[in-house]
Structure 1
Amino acid sequence: MTATYEVRGTVAVITLSNPPVNGLGYATRKAAAEAIQRAEEDGEVKAIIITGAGKAFSGGADIKEFGTPKALAEPNLHSLISVAENCSKPIVAAIHTVCMGGGLELALGCHYRVAAPGAKIALPEVKLGLLPGAGGTQRLPRALGVEPALNMIVSGEPVNSELLAMVPGQILFNRIIEGDLIDGAMVFAKEMADVRPLPKVRDLKARVANGEAFFQFARNMVGGMSKNFPAPLRCLEAVAASVNMKFDDGIKAEREGFVALMMTPESKALRHAFFAERAASKIGDVPDDTPVRKIAKVAVIGAGTMGGGITMNFLNAGIPVTMLETKQEALDRGVATIRKNYEAQVKKGKLKEEKYNERMSLLATTLSYDAIGDADLVIEAVFEELGVKESVFKQLDKVMKPGAILASNTSTLDVNKIASFTDRPQDVVGMHFFSPANVMKLLEVVRGEKTAKDVLATVMQLAKKIRKTAVVSGVCDGFIGNRMIEQYSRQAGFLLDEGCSPQQVDKAAERFGFAMGPFRMGDLAGNDIGWAIRKRRYVEKPNLNYSKSADLLCEMGRYGQKTQAGWYDYQAGKRDAIPSKAVEQMLEMHRAAQGITPRQITDEEIVHRLVFALVNEAAHLLEEGIAQRASDVDMVYLTGYGFPLWRGGPMCYADTFGLYNVVQTMKRFARNPHDDANFWQPAPLLARLVEQGKSFTE
C-alpha cells in the first residue's frame, strides 16, 4: 500500500507510504484521495490526520514518474489537494523530517498543519528551472506572508519548521509539537473536530506593504542574481499574482508559468543534471545490495595542498584521519593549513568553534607507515610520478591490514599499474579528488581491471558521506575529465596560433558560461603541469599535434599565478589577470615563424571548437566503455570543470544544439589547415547517433 488508513477513536490517520521520501506518485495520490473519501463517509470519524511514514512527510513529486503519463494521471496533485481542501471534516497535516515541493503544497491544502521541530520545509522547484505547480506560489504567501514565502520560493532552500513558526502573523503551522508527533496531532485534531467553518488557505488575503515598490525592488534583486536562469523571475511574478489576483486567477497564472518554464532549455538542462547526479551513483554490474566494507578510520599519505584538502573532507564527516608525511616540517605545514582553513570558516560564521575543535581532535599525524596499518581506507596524495607511487604502494601493501582499501589520488596515471605494485589488486581503486579537494564536489572513482565490486560500492557510499558527487571511470590516460580537457586545451592553443589572444578565448568561454576560460585556468593550475604532460605525449604519441605556444610560454618561466606570470601578468597578492605584452609579442613571433597570417575568429567558433572537442572525445570514451553513460560525462564537467549548469554539461548541450549540427560544424573545423583534421572525424558513437536520429542523453 502506498497510503495506509487507520481509525483511532474518532480520528482517521492516513499515512503516505512510498519510500524513500513518500513521493506523490499516481498510486500514492490515488490511495490518499480514496482514504480521505473513506474517512468522510465514516460517521464515527470526526477529524483526519495526514502524515508520512519513515523519514519524510513527503518529498513531493515522485521522480520516477517525471515525464511519464502517470505524472498527470487523475487524481493529479491539484485534484488531491482539492479533495483535501473541500473535505467536510477537518484535515490536519502532521509534518516531520522532510516536507518539500508537492508535499508542502498538499499540506497547504489541508485545513491545519502541525509540525515536529527540525522538519525541513521547502519549495525547491526553482532548482529544476521550474516553479511550484500545484498552488505553492498562491498558498504559501497567504499562509506564511509574502516576503518570507517569496524568499523560500525563489531560493528553493529548506527552512526548519520551528523558524517558520516564529514568523509574525503566519498560519503555516498551527502548532509545533515536541515529543510524539502523532500523539500531539491527535490532541490537536480532537480540539478542532467541531470548529466550523473549516479554514482554507485559499480564502486568505496575501498582503505586502507598498506592493508595487516591493515587487519592483525584488525584480531588480532577483534579476541580478539569477542571470541565465529564467525560473526565479517567473517564481517572483507568480508570487506577485497571489497579491494582485484572485486565487483562481493566480492559480491559472502559476500554471501558465510552470508550462512555459518546462519548455525552456535551462529547465531541461537542470532536470537533466538532477537525474544525472542520481544515475552517476549506479554502477551497471554492481548491485545496490552489494555489501560494503566498514570505513571507521582513514589514512592520507601526503600533507600538501591535495592531501590536506582530502583530509578535511573526512574530518568534516566525523571520520578520524591519520596524515602521514616523510618530514615533520611538511606535516606541520599541512596541519597549519587545515587550521587556517577552518579558522577562516569560524571567522565568517560558517563554522562553530566547538565544531572546529571537534574536527581537529579527529586528526592525527605520523612519520611512520607502521602507525597507519589499522586504517580501513588509505588515500595517497603524493607527487604525480609512477616511481613515487610504486614506492608508496609497496609500503602500503606491507603495513595495511587485510581488507583495507588502497586508493590513489592520481589524475592521469595507470591505476592497473599502480595496483600491480601490491599483492592485493582487488583492494586498489582510484579516488581522484579535484583541487581544492575540500571544496570541489567531483570525485572520479577509477575502476581498475581487478578492483573488487565491494570496494567500488564502499567508495561510492563513502562519497555521499563526504558530500561528493562520485562518477566511475575506467582506466585510461587522464580518465574522463583530464582526457577530455586535453583536447579542449589543444583547440585553445590552435586558436592562439590562428590569431586569437588568450583574453579573447577566455572571454568567449566565460560569456558562454564557463567559470574560467582555458588560459586563466592554466595559470591557476600551473602551466608547468600541462608542459610535463605534453613532454610525455611527444614521446608516446609523436603524431599528435599541439600548438607550441604553451611550451614557449613555459620556457619563458611563465608558469602562472605562482610565478606572477603566465598567459597573463599578475600582481603580488592579487589574482587579477592582466593582459601581457610579453605574451602578445611571443605569439606574434611564433605565428611569423610558422608562416601563419592571423585571422579574425568569432566567439561562436571559439566556443564550438572548445566544447565540441570535449563532446567528440567524450563520445570516444563512451565507445570504449571508460565512461558508463553520457550523463556521467556531464556530471564530471558540471561539478569539476566549471561547465555552465544552465547548459546541462557538454553532452546535454550537444543534444540541445543537435548532433547533426554538431557533426556538420566539426566537418568545417576539419577543413581548417591549422587544426587537426583527424581529431575532427566524428567518433563512431557520435556518427552512429546522427545516422539513427538519436541523442546522447535521451
Structure 2
Amino acid sequence: MTDFIYEKDADGIVTITLDMQGQSANTMNDRYVPGMNDAIAKLRAEDGLTGVIFASAKKTFFAGGDLGLILAIEKSDAETMRYIEGNKFPFRDLEKLPVPVVAAINGAALGGGYELCLACNHRIVVDDPKAIVGLPEVTLGLLPGAGGVVRLTALLGLEKALPYLTEGKPAKPQVALAAGMVDEVVATRDDLIPAAKAWIKANPDQHAQPWDQKGFRYPGGDALSPKVRQIAVASPAILYQKTRGLMPAPAKILDIAVNSMRMGFDAALRNESRGICALVTTPECKAAITTFFFGMQAIKGGKVRPEGPHWKATKAAVLGAGMMGSGIAWAHANAALPTVLKDMEMDKAEKGKSYTATLADKAIKRGRMTDDKKTALLSQITPATDDTAFEGADIIIEAVFEDIALKEKVIPESFKMLAPDGIYGSNTSTLPISILAKACPDPTRFIGLHFFSPVDKMKVVEIILGEQTSEETLRKAYDYVQQIGYMPIVVNDSRGFFTSRVFGTFMDEGLALMIDGMSPVAIERAAWLAGMPVGPLAVHDEVSMVLTQKVRKTHKDLDARLGTDAGFGAHNTASATVSDAMIEQGRGGRHYGGGFYDYTADGSKSLWSGLAQFAKGNAEIPMQDAIDRLLYRQAIETLRCLNEGVLRTEVEANLGGIFAIGFPAHTGGAIQFIRGIGVDTFAARAAELADKYGERFTLAPSAYDILRTSTAKAA
C-alpha cells in the first residue's frame, strides 16, 4: 500500500491520488514530504507527460499540517525552519513542472490541503457544501506556512485575500468560485477527474503560475498603489480592535501579506516560513491547538462520552415558554426535533413559539434562510397548556422559573408523560440536581441540562449528573445535546455547578475592584484588555442584580432547609454588598431601566454617575493587577472545580469556560491558561494577589498537584 497512488493514462496525464495509510484524512505527516518528493521526481522523469491531477481517496481532499507534530515543536530554531521549509518546497517544485497541474477537490481542502491547491494551475471542486476550501490556520494561532499567505495574496489581491487569511473562514464551492479561490465547480465527484483531464487537454501550455510570468501584477493593485497602501495603513488598527493585541497570528499574517508584494516571490515564501516559525512556540498557538483542535476533537469524537449505542430523540417537550424555554424550542426546531412548548396560558406558549419566528425573520432578512425553511421550523413547535399534549416524549426539559418549590411541583406531574425509556432534564442554572431529583419518580432518569442565554447563540449545554443519575441517562443526554448541534460539557452536581460558580467570580471581582477604588471605566477596560467579551459591570446589568439577589436568597433558603452551610458564593462578598444597595436605589439592571449603566432610547449607554458611592478605598490599582484579578479569580475557581471533582476533564473545563462564560479564547481556557503561564508561576502570582487583595486568591499548594501530575487530563 502507498500514500501516493500514481496512475498514468494513454494521453500522458498522471493522476496522483493521496491516500495516507492508517489515517482517516490526508495530512502532512512524517511520510508526506518524502512521498511528495518521490512523486515529483517521478513526474520529472516521465516520458510523454502532458498533465498532472491531484485527487484524494479519502472523504476529504487534504487536511493539511500534522498538528501533533506542530504542537511538539518547542524551539524556533534552524531545525524548525528546515521542517517548515521542507513541507512547502514540494509545492514550489510542482509549480515548475512543464505541464499543467490540476487539483480535483472532492471534499474539504483546508490549510495545507488548500495550499496544495494554490500550487496547482487549476482548481476544480465538487458542488457539495462539505467541499469547503480555506486557510483556517489563524484560528489555531498559526499562519498558512506552506505558501498560503503569499499565494492567496497573489491570486486574489490584498483586499480580497485578507479576510480569508486573518479570519480563517472557509468558503463553500459557489462562494469560492465567485471569490476566485477555485476555477470550476462540477456537479458530482465522478465529474472531477474527467473535468480535470478535459481542462489539461484544452490548456496544454498553461503551466506557468501568474506570479511566475513576466509582467505579473497583483489583482486590485500592487504594493505602491494608493488603495493597497491605504489598506496596509488602516488594517493594523482594525485588527487590534478585533484581537485586542492578544492574538499575534493575525498581525503576523497581515505583515507577511503586505510585504510579500514588495519582494520577490521566493523571498516572500521564505519570509512566510520565518513568520510561522515565530508563531509555533507562542502560548497562544499551543493553547489554540490544544483546546480548539484536540479538545474539540475529543468532544466531537466521543472520547468523553459514556460508552454505549447512540440514542436519538424523536419527540420532545419544553416546560415554560419564557426566554430560556423559547430558546430551547428554537434549538429543537432547528434540528428538526418535534417539540411541544407548554406554558400555563396559551398566549404565553404562542408567544414562546413566536420567538422562533422572529429569529427566522432575521435570518431571512440576511439571506440565510428561506420562507419555506421558516415554515418548516415553525411546524416543529406545538404550543400547549396541557401535559397530555406531550405524552410519550423521549425527552422533557423543565425550564420554569428558578424556584425550587415550583420545580418540585412541575417535575413529578410532567414526568408521567415521559416515554418508558425517555429522560427528564432540568434547565436549572444553580439548584442542585440531586435535590431536585428527589421530586422525580425515577431519579436515575433525571439529569441537569443547563442551556445558556441567548440559546440561539450560546451553543453549549452543561450536563449535570445527580447522585442517582444513571450512565444510560448521561449517554442519552450527551447524544441529545449533540443531536441538536450543541457542545456537551459534563459536570458533577454542586452548588452553582461549574459555569455559574466561575462566572460569579468574574462578576464579583469587577465589583471588588470598584470597592477598592478603581474607576468603573478602568474596570470595564481591564476586562476588555483581558479578552473578556463584556465587562463585569455590563454583565451585571444584563443578568440583572434582581436575579442575582434571588439566586443568593434561594441558596440561603436551601441551606436552612437542609440544615447545612454550603457556602455557595462565599467569597462573592462584593456582589452581595453592591447589588443589594443598587436594588434599594431602584437600579436593578437593564431590564429594570438602569443599573451600572444609564440607557437611552437610541440604544446607547453610559456608566451611571452614582457609582462613586461604592468606592471604599483609594487604591491606585495597576491595570495589570486588575487584569490578573479578573482572570485569576476565574482560573482559581475552575481549578477548585477540577480538584473537587465537579469537572471531570481539563478539556471540558477549557471549552466550557470559553463557550459558556466567555473566558478569553486566546488562553485556550482557564486550565490551559494556568498551564501556559506555568503551574508554579501561576501559583506564585496567585499568592501575591492573595497577600495584596484577599484570601479569595488563596489555594493550598496541594491544589495544584492535579496539574503537576497530569500533562493532559483530557479523556
| Counterpart position of 1:316 | 334
Deviation of the 1:524 alpha carbon: 0.8
Q: Map of 1:125-274 to 2, 5 A cutoff? A: 125-166=137-178, 173=182, 175-179=184-188, 180-185=190-195, 187-188=197-198, 191=201, 195-196=204-205, 198-200=207-209, 203-204=212-213, 205-207=216-218, 208-209=220-221, 211-212=223-224, 213-227=226-240, 228=245, 229-274=247-292
For residues 175-234 of structure 1, give each alpha carbon's deviation from its aligned partner in whole angstroms, at most 9, with x where no partner exists: 4333423442464276269x3573345524352425332333223443233212333333
Q: Map of 1:524-543 to 2, 5 A cutoff? A: 524-538=542-556, 539=559, 540-541=564-565
For residues 416-455 of structure 1, give each alpha carbon's deviation from its aligned partner in whole angstroms, at most 9, with x where no partner exists: 3333433443433322111111111332122334444454
Say which of 52, 56, 65 aligns to 2:56: 52
For residues 639-666 of structure 1, give each alpha carbon's deviation from its aligned partner in whole angstroms, at most 9, with x where no partner exists: 1223332333333333444433433333
Say which of 387, 391, 395 aligns to 2:405: 387
Could you state the TM-score of these two structures normalised by the residue count of structure 2?
0.85
For residues 114-162 of structure 1, give each alpha carbon's deviation from its aligned partner in whole angstroms, at most 9, with x where no partner exists: 2223431211212223221011122233444454333422332222334
Letter in 1 for 2:565: K
SS in 2 for 1:5: strand
- Residues 465 and 3 from structure 1, CA distance in 2 versus in 1: closer, same or farther, beyond 3 angstroms? farther
Answer whether contact 1:123 1:158 (CA < 8 A) is retained: yes
Identity of matched residues, % = 26
Q: Name whichever of 680-689 and 253-262 sits farther off.
A: 680-689
How large is the RMSD of aligned CA atoms in angstroms?
Answer: 3.4
Say which of 609, 619, 643 aligns to 1:580: 609
Deviation of the 1:77 alpha carbon: 2.5
Letter in 2 for 1:628: R
Deviation of the 1:695 alpha carbon: 9.8
- The separation in 2 between residues aligned to 1:693 and 1:403, in whole angstroms, is 38
Could you state the TM-score of these two structures normalised by the residue count of structure 1?
0.87
Q: Map of 1:341-420 to 2, 5 A cutoff? A: 341-420=359-438
Answer whether contact 2:106 2:192 (CA < 8 A) is retained: no
Answer whether contact 2:138 2:250 (CA < 8 A) is retained: yes
SS in 2 for 1:66: helix
- Residues 618 and 200 from structure 1, CA distance in 2 versus in 1: closer, same or farther, beyond 3 angstroms? same
Q: Name whichever of 221-230 and 132-141 sits farther off.
A: 221-230
- The separation in 1 between residues aligned to 2:356 and 2:447, in whole angstroms, is 26
- Residues 196 and 572 from structure 1, CA distance in 2 versus in 1: closer, same or farther, beyond 3 angstroms? closer
Letter in 1 for 2:138: V
- The separation in 1 between residues aligned to 2:162 and 2:217, in whole angstroms, is 12
Letter in 1 for 2:274: E
- The separation in 2 between residues aligned to 1:387 and 1:55, in whole angstroms, is 53
Deviation of the 1:408 alpha carbon: 1.6
Deviation of the 1:323 alpha carbon: 0.9
- Residues 166 and 446 from structure 1, CA distance in 2 versus in 1: closer, same or farther, beyond 3 angstroms? same
Answer whether contact 1:223 1:233 (CA < 8 A) is retained: yes
1:604 correspondence with 2:624:
yes
Say which of 590, 610, 621 aligns to 2:641: 621
Deviation of the 1:166 alpha carbon: 4.4
Answer whether contact 1:408 1:430 (CA < 8 A) is retained: yes
Say which of 86, 108, 114 aligns to 1:98: 108
- Residues 202 and 465 from structure 1, CA distance in 2 versus in 1: closer, same or farther, beyond 3 angstroms? farther
Deviation of the 1:573 alpha carbon: 6.5
- The separation in 1 between residues aligned to 2:158 and 2:604, in whole angstroms, is 41
Letter in 1 for 2:642: L
Deviation of the 1:331 alpha carbon: 0.9
Letter in 1 for 2:187: E
Answer whether contact 1:56 1:98 (CA < 8 A) is retained: yes
- Residues 493 and 153 from structure 1, CA distance in 2 versus in 1: closer, same or farther, beyond 3 angstroms? closer
1:122 correspondence with 2:122:
no
Answer whether contact 1:431 1:443 (CA < 8 A) is retained: yes
Answer whether contact 1:660 1:690 (CA < 8 A) is retained: no
Say which of 540, 554, 557 aligns to 2:583: 554
Deviation of the 1:527 alpha carbon: 0.5
| Counterpart position of 1:662 | 682
Q: Name whichever of 80-89 and 469-478 sits farther off.
A: 80-89
Deviation of the 1:403 alpha carbon: 1.9
Deviation of the 1:607 alpha carbon: 2.7
| Counterpart position of 1:13 | 15
For residues 325-370 of structure 1, give each alpha carbon's deviation from its aligned partner in whole angstroms, at most 9, with x where no partner exists: 1211211221233322332333344433332222122221111222
Answer whether contact 2:495 2:566 (CA < 8 A) is retained: no
- Residues 203 and 671 from structure 1, CA distance in 2 versus in 1: closer, same or farther, beyond 3 angstroms? closer
- The separation in 1 between residues aligned to 2:299 and 2:174, in whole angstroms, is 35
| Counterpart position of 2:297 | 278
Answer whether contact 2:96 2:208 (CA < 8 A) is retained: no
SS in 2 for 1:407: strand
- The separation in 2 between residues aligned to 1:607 and 1:584, in whole angstroms, is 21
Say which of 630, 650, 658 aligns to 2:670: 650
- The separation in 2 between residues aligned to 1:457 and 1:44, in whole angstroms, is 59
Deviation of the 1:41 alpha carbon: 5.8
For residues 380-400 of structure 1, give each alpha carbon's deviation from its aligned partner in whole angstroms, at most 9, with x where no partner exists: 211112232222321333111
| Counterpart position of 1:594 | none
Structure 1 unaligned runs (5+)?
592-596
Q: How many residues align?
A: 681
Letter in 1 for 2:7: V
Q: Map of 1:499-538 to 2, 5 A cutoff? A: 499-538=517-556
- The separation in 2 between residues aligned to 1:630 and 1:56, in whole angstroms, is 30
- The separation in 2 between residues aligned to 1:310 and 1:2, in whole angstroms, is 49
Answer whether contact 1:281 1:471 (CA < 8 A) is retained: no
Answer whether contact 1:342 1:356 (CA < 8 A) is retained: yes
- The separation in 2 between residues aligned to 1:338 and 1:519, in whole angstroms, is 30
